[in-house]
Structure 1
Amino acid sequence: MLIDPSVAELLPQLLVLLPLAFAAGLFDAAVGGGGLILVPGLFAVLPRELPAMLMGTNKFAAVMGTAAATWRYTRQVRLDWPILLPSAGAAFCGSYLGALAIHWLPRDAVRPLVVLLLALMLLYTWRKPAFGGVDAGRALTRRDLVVGLVIGAVIGFYDGFFGPGTGSFLIFLFIRFFHFDFLRASASAKVVNLATNLAALTFFLPAKLVIFGLAVPMAIANIAGAQIGSRLALKGGSAWIRKLFLALALALLAKLVWDTVRG
């Protein structure tokens, strides 16, 4: 097990993982899905390490990139904090409960349902070119607050329990229920996703399931990628994010279908 190894021992792994962490931060800042890049890389580079250790290391790096992207978005995109903060709080609690539920529920049991939901989400977005193209800019209501709490709790639980596609689901739901455009939905999703990542770290850090010799350099690379990714998203706007969103949803769907068939 890799615990407090020297920098020299970690250099070969870092040569592979740092570019992956950068790419994960860049992609995740725009539409989510950074885990699709970094998690398989960690498992490939460290095949003998405990899966929980690799997931903790990934979360440590990812939360830094998500925080950096959130900070940039909050400076340039109008966010509805009265909705987002309660939603993020519900997501934090849901994510922690989801992580605990892994001990009692089979994770693979939810995979077919996730595949179905992703397929429906992808089909809905593709068939509606105007979906997420324009922000309605309407005032949010008390009903929206309740919907935000439900979205946060459910997606938070999903992220803690299973995880793949959390950012995509958040973006889709924010557009569907709050009528945001893709840019505003992506920025809002970062706030909630930051809460779910922090909740996961409240489990991984006390359990000492983080390889800091890898996690800290990866976090720096992830932050750098997130800065560029969020800048590109802000510059390209909703049309560019929509294309990335469809590409990510398709890639995630293909991966989950393959995992289901192979499993």
Structure 2
Amino acid sequence: MLCVASALAGWIDAVVGGGGLLQLPALLIGLPHLPPAYALGTNKAVSVVGTSAAAVTYVRKAPVDVRLASRLGVVAALSSVGGAFLAAGVNSAVLRPLIMVLLLGVAAFVVLRPQFGQTPGGATTRARVLAVFGVAGVGIGFYDGLLGPGTGTFLVIALVALLNMDMVTASATTKVVNVCTNIGALAMFTWQGTVLWKLAALMALFNMTGGLVGAHMALKRGSGFVRVVLLVTVVGLVGKLAYDQWWS
């Protein structure tokens, strides 16, 4: 069950982000007698392999600005540390409704703007680059450490909206950023000793396979395909947050 979930999570994550919505709950169900920290740590160890494989595939075949993506990744990784530091003192029950409203707004925007992310929007200004570092690097990076679900999806939307990227290029850039944030988080979990390395190694093989397939499909089928997966992922994320808020 965990390996199948990991493969599907790798595919979703490579296309548009959000694979943790499937993989982390699967680990929590599959490891019921261990503290949740072990599921979190093992999830990061698995994800960093699949995300790295997808990132390499994208960088080789998509027009990714690796320098920009790497710098953005470093900022996001540092911001996520700050979010993680404050996470214990924040009531996530207050944040979830706000995030759901934001996601529903994103879904409505994508539906009402069929051309959103279909083709590159042209050159970007220095102000837009600075804005993406503030929104995606600092803001979304902080959210990744504070709460987490849907970080990849938020990054894709931010890159399309602020840097005029098409969906495929935005998804590719997101993978490079995610590698940086995952490595930072994994280092912390490793230091805490909450990674089940043998299980993670097995799941990582399936996650990597799913990630490679997802990246190739996104590159082959283009922005329209990524847009559809994005909408499905947003709906799934809203459902997950609603369940956590009112029924869990």
**2:82 aligned partner:** 97
Percent identity over paired residues:
36
- Residues 2-13 of structure 1 correspond to what in structure 2 (within 5 A)? none
Q: What one-letter code is carried by the residue in structure 2 that aligns with 1:262?
A: W
8 Å contact kept, 1:135–1:180: yes
Question: Do structure 1's residue 144 and structure 2's residue 125 form an aligned pair?
Answer: no
Q: Provide Cα deviations, 1:137-168, integer angstroms capped at 9, x if missing partner.
A: 42x33223311221211111111111111111
TM superposition outliers: structure 1 runs of 4+ over 4 Å: none
Residue 215 of structure 2 corresponds to which residue in structure 1? 230
Alignment counterpart, residue 64 of structure 1, candidates 15, 40, 49: 49
Distance in 1 (alpha carbons) for counterparts of 2:64 and 2:198: 35
Q: For residue 136 of structure 1, what is the amino acid of its counterpart?
A: G
Indicate the residue corresponding to 2:202 in structure 1. 217
SS in 2 for 1:49: coil
Report the counterpart of residue 41 of structure 1 in structure 2: 26
Q: How far is the alpha carbon of 1:257 from its aligned partner?
A: 1.6
Quick check: 1:98–1:161 contact (8 Å CA) kept in 2?
Answer: yes
Whether the 8 Å CA contact 1:125–1:131 is kept in 2: the answer is: yes
Q: Partner residue of 1:79?
A: 64
1:114-263 alignment runs, 5 A limit: 114-138=99-123, 140-150=124-134, 151-262=136-247
Match of 2:3 in 1: 18
What runs of 5+ residues in structure 1 fail to find an aligned partner?
A: 1-15
Q: Is residue 59–residue 66 contact of structure 2 (8 Å, CA) maintained in 1? A: no
- What is the CA RMSD across the aligned residues, in angstroms? 1.3
Q: Give the residue type in structure 1 aligned to 2:193.
A: K
SS at match of 1:116: helix
- Give, in angstroms, the shift of residue 82 of structure 1: 4.3
SS in 1 for 2:191: coil
Deviation string, structure 1 residues 109-145 (Cα, Å, up to 9, x no partner):
211111111111111111110111111242x332233
Say if 2:79 and 2:142, in contact at 8 Å, map to a contact too. Answer: yes
Query: Quick one: which amino acid aligns to residue 184 of structure 1?
Result: T
- Partner letter of residue 25 of structure 1? G
Counterpart of 1:109 in structure 2 is 94
Measured in 2, the distance between the counterparts of 1:131 and 1:141 equals: 19
- Paired residues in the alignment total 247
Unpaired segments ≥5 residues, structure 2:
none
**2-structure distance, mates of 1:174, 1:198:** 21
Separation (CA, whole Å) in 1 of partners of 2:15 and 2:2? 20
Alpha-carbon offset, residue 255 of structure 1: 1.6
Equivalents in 1 of 2:17, 2:69: separation in Å? 17
CA positional deviation for 1:80: 2.4
The SS at the match of 1:130 is: coil
Check conservation: 1:99, 1:200, Cα contact below 8 A. Answer: no
